[in-house]
Structure 1
Amino acid sequence: MKALVRKRARITRVRAAQHLLAASAAASAEAQVDQLETNAAKLASLRDSLTLPVGPVSGAALQNRGELALRLDNARHGLSGAIASAKATAEQKVAERLEARQRQESAAKLDARAVQALTEWTEARMAASFRPKLAKTNEGDN
């Protein structure tokens, strides 16, 4: 009985560690999505800041700004695939975290039941060992 309780406790600890690892992986994947989205927003902001000054502008300056704008647009559009992939990975990691949490809760319930069963078993054994002995009656006194 005690071995079962120890086994269930070990399983509960393992499942708790698995949940922590899954939660960490999910948080990391979500942080990756946030970072990629922030980078895309910075590229868009940088692209939008390439306005021309008022007044005469040389053709070389126009060409340089146009080329830079094109490169920034290409980089931003290139991030869209990485962002979509990172979001899919993050969703998968969140699902894995939820699954690990359910397994952890299930193991904790089994552990609690095993502890309760051990407690009841121990109490029953203790009660059995302290049964009152029947008093012997003297038959000659009647």
Structure 2
Amino acid sequence: MKSLSRYEVTDQTRFTDSWIWLTLLLIAGIIVWRTVSSLAALIIALAGIIIIGLIYRSSKQHIGNTVEITEQAMIFKDGDQQSCIAFNEIKKVKTNRFLSLLGGPAFVIETSTGKKRWLQPDDYNNGENLRQELNQYLNVFIQTE
């Protein structure tokens, strides 16, 4: 019998792909500054600062969230709330690369009760191990987008 696997969002794992979007914004700002005007570049820089603040604030709220995987279910702890998805109630799983440019795809898990859960393994410590374990358990349900 396999033991419980636990993965946690830590201070080091909470900014997975954000830096790539900010780097693209920086490059766009430099190009706009050289070709259009410094005022337009200032507007792009302010947008970048706002985005950094939003990312920092939202990611700070996720520190300490966990996902635990057993042979029968996945248990999610988000702040004060806990939820569980049993493997036998999963209807389908889609993989989505929309927000994960460098890492692996995120999983969108849909249950027979209509509940949907988005899970990006790169947000958790040992994210690659979590991805392998999810692929092992969810391989039957996966539909690639």
Give the shorter-chain TM-score range.
0.3 to 0.5
Q: TM-score, normalization: structure 1?
A: 0.34
Tell which structure's C-alpha radius of gyration is larger: 1
Q: Which structure is higher in RCO with an 8 Å CA cutoff and minimum separation 6?
A: 1
Considering fraction of residues, name the structure with more strand. 2
